[in-house]
Amino acid sequence: MSDNAAGAVKNARTFEEAWPILQEGIDKLIHHLEHEGPGLSQIITSDEYMRFYTCVYEVCYPNPLGPDTRKMYDQYGKTFHDYISSKVLPSLRGKENQDLLKELLKQWTNFRILTRWLSRFCFYLERYYIPKARLVSLQETSYLAFYKLICGEINGKVTDAILSLIDREREGEQIDQTFVKEILDIYVVIGADSLKYNEKDFEEAMVNATAEFYSKKALDWISIMSYENYMVKVEECLKQEESRVSSYLRYLTRYKLLEQVVKRELLTVHASKLEEKKHLDEAAA
């Protein structure tokens, strides 16, 4: 046994002895994020980090699959559940539209910082305990807690707020596309780039909203435009949607929106009317 290993066994701690020390670091992180924001400063010093990491190590090393190690893992998840319930959700409740989106992005930014630090404190769990016990990774544990508690309660409002911004953009208003993409990227990050949460929570709503928008516009434009001008308008809309979807979403959504929704609502649904208008315009020429 190495000197370091022997020292670790000699200085072994129970979970109950170690967690109050780790809680000091968690409290410092939360206080900093709440009062100073993420910023660029080093929230936790190197000495503090080593103290917290060693504290976890001294619990887990003597018995990597033991009950105290499991307690450490469970408490990690509970910490994020409690933080979301006591800090994040209250800050979001009562907010609407862009105010809600701005607060959500702020809270998500802070949450990721908290996740990064606490997962570093508990790295021994990630490296040894989680693979052997076949449990969810530390990052996924925290991100899924955020998804279930936050998105489960306010997802409808978030989706409506984003779609409202996109409709305003379609009407010619300038919006902050980067801001919209940052909100949507929350789902992508939570889904570990698999897009499973993005597709489930947002894509269907956007497809339906896009169909509704262009269904109404098609009726208005057909009634006042010539066939030639209408087709020019369709081409313009398709280019705008391609640019828009490229900014916010990925290939599958782009295909669905362009091929299955926009063209259908602007062309396929009104094919007979457009053919009739084309013949009338040609006869009047």
Q: 274-285 pLDDT, tens per residue? A: 888 888 878 886
Whether the pLDDT of residue 4 is over 50: the answer is no
Where is the domain boundary, 127, 161, 193? 193
pTM for this prediction:
0.85
Please check whether residues 167 and 216 belong to one and the same domain: no
CA distance 43 to 251: 38
DSSP 194: S
Is residue 183 included in any domain, yes or no? yes
CA distance 44 to 32: 10
Q: For position 119, what pLDDT does the model report?
A: 95
Domains in the chain: how many in total?
2
The type of residue at 222 is I
237's enclosing H/E stretch is helix 227-248
Q: For position 39, what pLDDT does the model report?
A: 63
Is residue 22 included in any domain, yes or no? yes
Q: For position 236, what pLDDT does the model report?
A: 93
Please check whether residues 12 and 143 belong to one and the same domain: yes
Where is the domain boundary, 193, 228, 261? 193
Is residue 202 included in any domain, yes or no? no
Residues 207 and 261: beta-carbon distance below 8 Å: yes
Is residue 75 included in any domain, yes or no? yes
> Percentage of the chain with pLDDT > 90?
60
CA distance 208 to 261: 8
CATH number at residue 77: 1.20.1310.10
Please check whether residues 17 and 134 belong to one and the same domain: yes
Residues 127 and 69: beta-carbon distance below 8 Å: no
Q: Quick one: pLDDT band at residue 148, thresholds 50, 70, 90? A: confident
The type of residue at 25 is G
Q: For position 251, what pLDDT does the model report?
A: 64
CA distance 72 to 64: 11
Residue 195 backbone class (left: φ over 0; alpha: ψ -120 to 50; beta: rest): left
| Residues sharing a CB contact under 8 Å with residue 206, sequence separation 6 or more, in sequence order | 163, 166, 249, 253, 257
213-240 average pLDDT score: 93
Please check whether residues 22 and 46 belong to one and the same domain: yes
Please check whether residues 164 and 235 belong to one and the same domain: no
Q: Quick one: pLDDT band at residue 256, thresholds 50, 70, 90? A: confident
Please check whether residues 254 and 170 belong to one and the same domain: no
How long a stretch of residues is the chain?
Answer: 285
pLDDT digits (tens, 9 = 90+) for 257-274: 777 889 999 999 999 988
> Percentage of the chain with pLDDT > 70?
89
Whether the pLDDT of residue 182 is over 60: the answer is yes
Please check whether residues 165 and 37 belong to one and the same domain: yes
Q: For position 192, what pLDDT does the model report?
A: 66
CA distance 70 to 66: 7
Please check whether residues 187 and 213 belong to one and the same domain: no
13-17 average pLDDT score: 94
Is residue 198 included in any domain, yes or no? no
**Measured in Å, how far apart are the chain's first and last C-alpha atoms?**
96
Please check whether residues 182 and 221 belong to one and the same domain: no
Q: For position 202, what pLDDT does the model report?
A: 79
**Tokens 């299955």, residue located:** 260
Is residue 272 included in any domain, yes or no? yes
Domain with 234, as residue range(s), is 207-284
Tell which wins on pLDDT, 151 or 76.
Answer: 76
Is residue 200 included in any domain, yes or no? no
Please check whether residues 183 and 214 belong to one and the same domain: no
Q: Which of 144, 33, 161 is nearest to 97 (CA)?
A: 161
Whether the pLDDT of residue 123 is over 70: the answer is yes
Where is the domain boundary, 154, 169, 193? 193
CA distance 76 to 80: 7
Is residue 68 included in any domain, yes or no? yes
Q: For position 57, what pLDDT does the model report?
A: 94
Please check whether residues 7 and 128 belong to one and the same domain: yes
DSSP 63: -
Q: For position 1, what pLDDT does the model report?
A: 38
Please check whether residues 25 and 126 belong to one and the same domain: yes
Token pair for 225 = 């435009």
Mean of all residue pLDDT scores within the chain: 87
Q: For position 175, what pLDDT does the model report?
A: 93
Residues 166 and 206: beta-carbon distance below 8 Å: yes
